[in-house]
Amino acid sequence: MSAPRVGVLALQGDTREHIAALHEAGASAVPVRRRDELDAVDALVIPGGESTTMSHLLRDLDLLEPLRKRLADGLPAYGACAGMILLASEILDAGSAGREALPLGGIDMTVRRNAFGRQVDSFEGDLEFFGLDDPVHAVFIRAPWVERCGPDVQVLARAAGHVVAVRQGPVLATAFHPEMTGDRRIHRLFVDIVIGAA
- Residue positions annotated with a catalytic role: 81, 177, 179
Beta strands 154-159 and 162-168, pairing class: antiparallel
What does each C-alpha distance from 99 to 45, 102, 120, 148 come to in angstroms? 22, 9, 23, 24
* Residue 128 annotated as binding site: no
Kind plus residue range of the DSSP H or E element containing 51? helix 51-60
Closest CA to 86 of 64, 70, 119, 62: 64
Q: Residue 141, annotated ligand binder?
A: yes
Question: What is the chain's Cα-based Rg?
Answer: 15
Ligand-binding annotation for 96, yes or no, is no
Residue 118 is assigned to a ligand binding site: no
- Quote the CA–CA distance of 61 and 140 in Å, as a whole number: 29
Supply angle C-alpha 60, 8, 170, rounded to 5: 105
Query: Which residues contribute to the annotated binding site for L-glutamine?
Result: 49-51, 113, 141-142
Query: Which residues contribute to the annotated binding site?
Result: 49-51, 113, 141-142
